[in-house]
Structure 1
């Protein structure tokens, strides 16, 4: 969300920059067509340039620390934190409401236009569609459709009007109008975009006036027509109106001498301002610790940060960096994001010959805290901002025997234990350690490698619903009422004392679906067929003989290409046969599973029927 706001602010600033440049340097010049492209380019530059970021690295002095945190992959989750106003959320809601309201207004304008055009008689002339309406509306054009009321003007006045609107249509000015409206919807909060839109529309009128007067003999009569049109101000909002900007400005521009070509240098003045913008806002500086040439890469100290706004591509680059620099595999998984595309959950697995392996996790209803991945003294340490601060303040210490000294509730494999039990545990047997904060109470949950292997190899059902290993690890063993382990089918069924999904022990358990087979090869892909030639109109005898002759040649080429594909099609058919063969056992298991499901459905009907009888 924060990244979106920064982007909108940067884009709004660039829109203001281009408008100010146009207003003070180009507004009074007669380079109308050049001004049109300058204004459009300004809009697109405003939305694209903030997305381009240059990364600059600076070398700083190394400051290594000797805290060994690598043996304990830590998960930090925070729940029920103190309430505070989320201004980002409130701003996002206001911004979204504004967009919705302006979109509704935009849709209403289209509806108004459709009301004017619907059911009218259209006269086609060359590339233009003319509609002579009886309604009291100012003349306008929408793409190649020109609407006017001929009864309100003389023949010479009407000719002036149509020449003007033809310019709008020929040069596709409607596209400029729609683009300016779209930017007004996206940046409705920025006052400069509304002035920008007005500048675009006025410049389009200058272009149409300038081009129309080149085809009209009496320039003075054209100006009188402009004045007469001011009495008809009933305009359709999303069209090019004959009367749209101040008539005085248009008449001034019509009589103004052409600007000198040497004044074109003014367009280049915006470039230095854009360069300044890039240097100030689009260069991201990253501090990199100074390397010691006498120390190998395996022991260099490097700290990198993962924050809530990281994209999947940025995470991938971090993993590639650690692989390249330290030959350490970083794998980011279990990534969860909120509606603002902020990361709310993530798991970081690391593995390397020199570093051992481990897992760090952070999950919360809010965005994650900054994660520090540190390569310190030849070891990988991963912490979040909160735990890192506690380490620095000596609130959490790691002793030489690698035990964690902190006053918390401790669980090993889901069972609550004492500090002494934790101290007796061999650190090499630890698969994962989670540090959780819940309702101002903190707890440590440790999973041993042996227990982790057991839960990984089995399917887990808690109160009749399939659960993942994380749900099992978070389950307090003191709440377990019954546990059944089916070693043959590798299934663990757990029923808790406060079960909510299973009301009694008579409720039938659903069958477990079969596991799809692991294919030895990828699913076959059919070869790409050539495109068949299009059949000409008519028939070969009475139709276009030349076209039919070309069609016959194309068909010969098509048949030749299809013949070349026959070996590929035979290979594809063999692959499909092999694929079907490998799928046969699974299909049979699915048939057996369907039969078990039918039995389960009957058992559930009987179970529900018995419950209904008991309730009566």
Structure 2
């Protein structure tokens, strides 16, 4: 398989998976299922382009002479095919060279990032606890994990925040999310020309954070405290590119997903939308046609005349016969021919003295297709004619009831049909005193039937658009309220911290005052003891 063809197929498959995710799965909370969907999509983009479906086509090849062909004047004619000059360097080769340079650049950048990450892990000692290796650093860096390593700066966080952060990163380590990150980076590097691969990687990383958040919330004491930690620590810090980071730029999405109700398991059926799309893709682009030729017998007339074959593809022109049941249809013979003696060729002309019998296994299927347009000015007589014609020609029963205004225009109609084969339908509209819009009753060659109105469809589309706009507005208002609540929570948190600091200072001041009073009381007790001793000495002297 050519590299360009493979790349185009791989790009199409990955883009197909992303579109299915974006349309059907993006808002669901089945995060683990979506993780499997992302990984399956990358595997499909890697391997499915190699899958080929073979379809065998059997065609009839006419018997032709292999000797030099003689034209009607008796001159020998040689058939030759002019070969086109070979293009040594074309646009596709230039595009592939540019693509290859881009892949090398992306892979080199990925390698440098990996080396930088490994260098950071070797710079600081690690403390192993169970299956986790904790690396404490002194740099201002956001907490992250890479395989079994969890890297963090303990001086940058409070004790409670650090506990939640470590639980979050432990989820990444336990579920091997680093593999997903590396696979996503490599897929983007190989398909850097595909914008969907960049969005695919971003959505994959977002879903991993949703998984970790969902698992962490079930382990921490307070869901609100965890959300506050996300908002409070949302300032961007440096972090290696191949790591799973606690602080991400999509904090708002993470908080929304944390507060979103859990999707039902039956929503997993949405994953199946990709199956028919993949099947259609394989049938459209991965089918290899194998043509097999079979020899057919041609009835030879009394007088055979050799004629010129004007091109590589010979055509048999229509032969009409006075017999009503005999006719030959035009047939295109493929370039591959079968050799035979000269007597097998006949002149392409009418044969008045011969009756040529042609056997054909082709069955002609009669297709039914009609379209009746009903307007505001259609009279009852015309409706009755349509009703009678449908019954006579197609055995379809049509019933209608129409109301008209003073101008004899239809303002309301209720019309229904029954094809006596289990199929039925109806169409009803009431415009008060306004004329109805045009509509049609149709049956096409695919068997689809029913009523259709362009004006009604336009109004329905307009209503749907208005609903979507209202829904988008509600979602925007809800997001705005959520953001305001987040800010309010942050302000409350800051106010609470200020109060705690103030209380601590007041407690320290009170402790100092109590200490001073204790020292003062001790000093008074000492003075009283000295005075008592002095009085005792005086008494002894007396």
- TM-score of the superposed pair, with normalisation by structure 2: 0.51
The one of the two structures with greater contact order (alpha-carbon pairs below 8 A, sep at least 6) is: 2
Give yes or no for the alignment of 1:377 onto 2:328: no
Query: What is the CA–CA distance in structure 2 between the aligned matches of 1:243 and 1:64, rounded to whole Å?
Result: 76
Give yes or no for the alignment of 1:50 onto 2:49: yes
SS in structure 1 of the partner of residue 235 of structure 2: coil
Maintained 8 Å contact 2:62/2:295: no
1:378–1:220 Cα change, 3 Å = farther
Shift in Å, 1:293: 9.0
Alignment match, 2:489: none
Q: How many residues align?
A: 295
Shift in Å, 1:85: 3.9
Maintained 8 Å contact 1:141/1:239: yes
Alignment match, 1:160: 164
Give yes or no for the alignment of 1:99 onto 2:103: yes
Shift in Å, 1:236: 0.8
Shift in Å, 1:82: 7.4
Maintained 8 Å contact 2:53/2:283: no
- Greater strand share, 1 or 2? 1
1:242-281 equivalent positions in 2, closer than 5 A: 242-281=246-285
SS in structure 1 of the partner of residue 142 of structure 2: coil
Alignment match, 1:201: 205
Alignment match, 1:23: 22
Query: What is the CA–CA distance in structure 2 between the aligned matches of 1:152 and 1:103, rounded to whole Å?
Result: 33
Maintained 8 Å contact 1:136/1:232: no
Alignment match, 1:11: 10
SS in structure 1 of the partner of residue 7 of structure 2: helix
Maintained 8 Å contact 2:147/2:176: yes
Shift in Å, 1:84: 5.8
Deviations 1:229-283 (A, max 9, x none): 2224212101101113400000001111111222221111111111111221122
Alignment match, 2:146: 142
> Which residue of 113, 117, 120 corresponds with 2:117?
113
Unaligned runs of 5+ in 2: 69-80, 299-333, 342-542
SS in structure 2 of the partner of residue 284 of structure 1: strand
Maintained 8 Å contact 1:138/1:229: no
Shift in Å, 1:95: 1.2
1:127-138 equivalent positions in 2, closer than 5 A: 127-138=131-142
Q: CA RMSD in A?
A: 2.8
SS in structure 1 of the partner of residue 62 of structure 2: coil
Shift in Å, 1:103: 1.1
Maintained 8 Å contact 1:55/1:284: yes
1:68–1:228 Cα change, 3 Å = farther
Maintained 8 Å contact 1:202/1:245: no
1:185-584 equivalent positions in 2, closer than 5 A: 185-292=189-296, 376-377=338-339
The answer to which of 159-168 and 4-13 deviates more is 4-13
Query: What is the CA–CA distance in structure 1 between the aligned matches of 2:104 and 2:39, rounded to whole Å?
Result: 24
Shift in Å, 1:126: 0.3
Query: What is the CA–CA distance in structure 2 between the aligned matches of 1:21 and 1:30, rounded to whole Å?
Result: 16
Maintained 8 Å contact 2:31/2:207: yes
Query: What is the CA–CA distance in structure 2 between the aligned matches of 1:139 and 1:68, rounded to whole Å?
Result: 83
Shift in Å, 1:5: 1.1
Deviations 1:15-39 (A, max 9, x none): 1111011111111101000000011
Query: What is the CA–CA distance in structure 2 between the aligned matches of 1:216 and 1:173, rounded to whole Å?
Result: 21
1:373–1:62 Cα change, 3 Å = closer
- TM-score of the superposed pair, with normalisation by structure 1: 0.45
Deviations 1:187-226 (A, max 9, x none): 1100000000001000000000001111111111111111
Maintained 8 Å contact 2:60/2:296: no
Maintained 8 Å contact 1:137/1:232: no
Shift in Å, 1:118: 2.2
SS in structure 2 of the partner of residue 118 of structure 1: helix
